[in-house]
């Protein structure tokens, strides 16, 4: 069992924090391990180490930084099975999905290893006797606070972009997946100079002092909206945030109900609904509502609920029983307010934090399942009379992360991507897209570019240089 959780100056240390957090397997309830709560003293040690390493790392040639990132990506791939098992043990994701997240993280590291050396600026057209440039420089020390639902992929993206552009990093992984975070840091830091990548473990006892630390030059956070707002309020530097969503799915008239239900089931139930861009509310045209709902119930009931290490599992547990209570509370309140429970919606007996794929019909706009982020395997369905009504309802609420429309109409598809207020709009597929996408979330869902080449811009600041001859 790991006993040292503070990584600074290239080595693991025993931190100053005395409190501990238990980490239990959400499928079995068995103890995976414990990590410290973290404290301001641990944060100070990590930031001091990163600040000391920052000048030397900034002077390292971009190609040299890229070469080290490629080696780190190779190690992540080599240990993908080990990392995936840690993810499954700590947050319950089925093993194949967990490995997919690790592989995606390695791919992102490779992407930034290539893009980093190419990330430049431009020359300006000034007078003949002078040279004018706009150059990109690293910001300095970047704090990276990552969530539990896809811990390897998200951490690799933010850490990779920061390192590729010459920043040093202080990473705080989620207290729900600390073993994954610590092992990932070990793999990434193996060839890096001491202090370039540091880590502090813990919950908000570590996160709060990190967010407010005056030694950071940028803070990147992926997680809940509530936490994101606290971090933004406390930070003394620029903040990048990808936070919660209440992503709508529109099922238009003329859409094949079986295909639409398959997409809806994927969007609602993948990773037990614990994805930032999960489908959280469905607006289906009345003309296809009945067959669509029937097919969606069948898709939900076809999922096999079980532990993530079982290859037959297609629906793992929620991350813990606290999250299960939140999800079940939304379902219970919706049924009490008149929604029809078509399948699921009952807490199973036995160990763990399992919750079945659930379909609710006759949902209304005042229900939490259509307003607040549920973050669980719940499909909340509302029937609409027209595409106009669906668009209007999809644009309600404070979030603006992503939205999906399923339609055979090119005209409706065109209207959807233009009119839906979301950082990402998907037509006829709930997931997917070319690599390198860098959407900006809207409203309560966050701010700033996440991922893609534009993330390199966020990790740097622009300096204008005027060189004139005397």
User: 137: which strand partners?
Assistant: 461
Token digits for 465? 């240089």
Q: What is the largest CA-CA distance in the chain?
A: 82
Got the DSSP string for 352-413?
S-----EEEES--TTSHHHHS---SSEEEEEEESSHHHHHHHHT-SSEESEEEEE-S-HHHH
Is residue 266 a contact partner of residue 431, using CB atoms and an 8 Å limit? yes
Of 137, 141, 127, 79, nearest to 105 (Cα)?
A: 79
Go through 114-136 and write b for each residue having 16 or more CB atoms within 10 A of its CB, e for each that does not: ebbbebebeeeeeeeeeeeeeeb
As annotated, the active-site residues are: 172, 242, 276, 373
State the number of CA atoms in the 13 A half-sphere of 319 facing the CB. 20
Q: Please, are residues 171 and 28 in contact by the beta-carbon 8 Å criterion? A: no
**What is the Cα Rg of the chain in Å?**
23
Give the whole-angstrom CA distance, residue 159 versus residue 141.
11
CB-count exposure of residue 467 (10 Å: 0-12, 13-18, 19+) = exposed
Tokens of 398: 């404070």
């Amino acid at each position: 069992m790991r006993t040292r959780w503070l990584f600074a100056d290239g080595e693991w240390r025993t931190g100053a924090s005395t409190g501990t957090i238990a980490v239990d397997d959400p499928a079995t309830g068995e103890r995976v391990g414990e990590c410290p709560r973290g404290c301001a003293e641990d944060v100070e040690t990590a930031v001091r180490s990163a600040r000391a390493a920052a000048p030397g790392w900034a002077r390292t040639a971009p190609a040299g930084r890229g070469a080290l990132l490629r080696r780190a990506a190779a190690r992540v791939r080599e240990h993908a099975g080990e990392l995936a098992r840690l993810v499954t043990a700590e947050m319950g994701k089925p093993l194949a999905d967990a490995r997919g997240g690790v592989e995606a993280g390695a791919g992102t590291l490779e992407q930034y290893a290539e893009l980093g050396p190419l990330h430049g600026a431009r020359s300006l057209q000034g007078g003949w006797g002078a040279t004018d440039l706009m150059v990109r420089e690293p910001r300095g020390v970047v704090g990276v606070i990552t969530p539990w639902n896809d811990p390897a992929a998200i951490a690799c993206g933010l850490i990779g972009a920061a390192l590729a552009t010459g920043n040093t990093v202080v990473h705080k992984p989620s207290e729900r997946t600390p073993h994954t975070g610590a092992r990932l840091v070990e793999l990434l830091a193996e060839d890096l100079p001491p202090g370039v990548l540091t880590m502090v473990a813990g919950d908000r006892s570590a996160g709060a002092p990190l967010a407010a630390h005056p030694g950071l030059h940028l803070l990147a956070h992926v997680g809940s909206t509530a936490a994101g707002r606290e971090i933004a309020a406390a930070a003394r530097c620029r903040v990048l945030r990808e936070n919660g969503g209440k992503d709508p799915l529109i099922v238009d008239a003329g859409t094949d109900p079986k295909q639409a239900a398959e997409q809806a089931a994927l969007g609602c139930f993948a990773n037990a609904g614990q994805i930032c861009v999960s489908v959280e509310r469905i607006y289906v045209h009345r003309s296809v509502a009945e067959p669509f709902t029937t097919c969606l119930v069948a898709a939900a009931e076809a999922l096999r609920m079980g532990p993530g290490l079982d290859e037959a599992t297609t629906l793992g547990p929620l991350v813990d029983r606290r999250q299960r209570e939140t999800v079940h509370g939304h379902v219970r309140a919706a049924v009490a307010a008149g929604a029809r429970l078509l399948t699921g919606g009952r807490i199973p007996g036995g160990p763990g934090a399992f919750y079945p794929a659930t379909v609710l019909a006759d949902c209304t706009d005042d229900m939490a399942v259509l307003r607040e982020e549920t973050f669980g395997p719940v499909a909340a369905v509302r029937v609409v009379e027209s595409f106009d009504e669906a668009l209007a309802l999809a644009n309600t609420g404070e979030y603006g992360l992503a939205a999906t429309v399923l339609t055979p109409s090119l005209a409706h598809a065109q209207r959807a991507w233009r009119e839906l207020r979301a950082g990402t709009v998907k037509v006829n597929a709930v997931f997917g897209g070319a690599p390198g996408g860098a959407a900006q979330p809207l409203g309560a869902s966050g701010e700033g570019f996440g991922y893609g080449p534009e993330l390199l811009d966020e990790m740097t600041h622009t300096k204008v240089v005027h060189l004139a001859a005397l």
